[in-house]
Amino acid sequence: MSTVLELLQTVRDWQCEGHAVTLCTLVEVENSAPRDPGASFAVCADGRLAGSISGGCVEAALVEESAAVARDGGARVVR
């Protein structure tokens, strides 16, 4: 995913297919990180992923957090 506009188009496409989508955005970085604040990652209810925040365990944790957000509703800040 090379641009925010492409990510948002993917999110829109998933929503038009009738899927719930969670959008995760990196808001702060401590020390070093592979991506800068503003990086985004989308999780489709059917398991598809788009974008990137950091890779590895961080994104895996966000997939789990996204399921809870979709279930419970409301925004969250996760550390």
| Whether residue 15 has pLDDT greater than 50 | yes
CA distances from 11 to 29, 30, 33, 42, 56 (A): 24, 28, 25, 7, 21
Token pair belonging to 2: 């090379």
User: pLDDT per residue over 28-40, tens digit each?
Assistant: 988 888 888 999 9
**Cβ–Cβ < 8 Å for 53, 59:** yes
Please state, rounded to an integer, the average pLDDT across all residues of the chain: 90
pLDDT in tens, 43-75: 999 999 999 988 778 888 889 999 999 888 888
For residue 9, the model assigns a pLDDT of 96
Contact 28, 37 (CB under 8 A): yes
Query: For residue 79, is pLDDT > 80?
Result: yes
Kindly indicate the confidence band of residue 11, based on its pLDDT and cuts at 50, 70 and 90. Answer: very high
Are the CB atoms for 35 and 54 separated by under 8 Å?
A: yes
